[in-house]
Amino acid sequence: MGLDTNAVKLLLHARQREVNFRRIITIGRQMLYVKEGDMKRMLMQAGLRDAAGTGRFLPGTYAESFLKLLGAETTDSLDASDYEQASLIHDLNRPIPRELHARYTMVIDGGSLEHVFNFPVAVKNCMDLLEKDGYYIGFTPANNFLGHGFYQFSPELYYRVFGRDNGFKMLNMYLYTDRKSTAFYEVLDPLDLKGRVTMANARPSYLFVLAQKTSEKEAFATTPQQSDYEHIVWSGEQKGNGHQGRKKPSKLKKLQVLWTDSCRRRFRPMGNSHPASVRKIELDLKSGQG
């Protein structure tokens, strides 16, 4: 578990959004996996010139010092074992004790929840750890991580988890590939698109999730449903299989479609995702906090 170059860049971007880093708990104790030169460059871009020259944030060291640079006064960590000296020991497959509820202004999952079998309980624990107006930040596998953990996740899941029914608001969701020079793409809510956000590509890809707790509600009091099934009226309530009266495409047309799809999957970072579902963005790292 750790913060790589892209995770550090996204945390600096969150700082630019002026989210509250004051009391942080990380899911698993996080290490830094960023080359010293890359860290210095990003800190300079974020306006943190004094910190950039200290050499405090070396690869292979724990991330608490970096989190304090972002504004943290408390930097706790939670894990199922003490092998990395986490400050709190708890198995996320089970509900957290009541005394941990609403204790933190931020929860950071740097890549742990995909390893917890009972995901609904684990993510609810993260939600319960937050006080009202607190923030959840997640870096989670989306595509091409088969065998890495129990799961890899879709945008639909996180949009439904961090929705109004559960007392949350999704602020940003970005999709990016496992490359230092990756571009970042904002992912739109399938509920707003009235269609599924799908992607097949050739590169390991992550989701970045930034959500805020807007009210105290019991999470999952109503079980989330996939939006296109919950709102089946989008299909026009057609009878039959929906293909009646359609002209069958020619073999040439089929080959053209297959070739185009194959090229998109192989050569485009976002693969064959629909252009309406993702849009490229530029990350701003410079904060008004100075």
Query: Which pLDDT value is given to residue 267?
Result: 46
d(CA 244, CA 106): 52
Query: Which pLDDT value is given to residue 250?
Result: 73
Q: What does DSSP assign to residue 227?
A: H
Question: Which 3 state secondary structure label does DSSP give 1?
Answer: coil
Considering only CA atoms, which of 190, 194, 174 is closest in space to residue 269? 174
Query: Which pLDDT value is given to residue 238?
Result: 40
Q: Going by C-beta distance under 8 Å and a sequence separation of 6 or more, which residues neighbour residue 16?
A: 46, 284, 285, 286, 287, 288
Q: 2-232+267-281 maps to which CATH number? A: 3.40.50.150
| 174 in Cβ contact with 185 (< 8 Å) | yes
d(CA 127, CA 259): 44
CB atoms inside a 10 Å sphere around CB 28: 21
Which tokens belong to 191?
């509920």
Domain ranges across the chain: 2-232+267-281
- What is the tens place of the pLDDT at every residue in 261-285? 555 555 455 665 676 788 899 988 8
Query: Which pLDDT value is given to residue 233?
Result: 65
Q: Tell me the pairing of strands 104-109 and 23-27.
A: parallel
| 91 in Cβ contact with 85 (< 8 Å) | no
Query: Which pLDDT value is given to residue 161?
Result: 98
Low-confidence residues of the chain: pLDDT under 70: 233-247, 251-273, 275, 287-290
- What is the tens place of the pLDDT at every residue in 95-135? 999 999 999 999 999 999 999 999 999 999 999 999 999 99
Longest dimension (CA), the chain: 69
Whole-prediction pTM value? 0.87
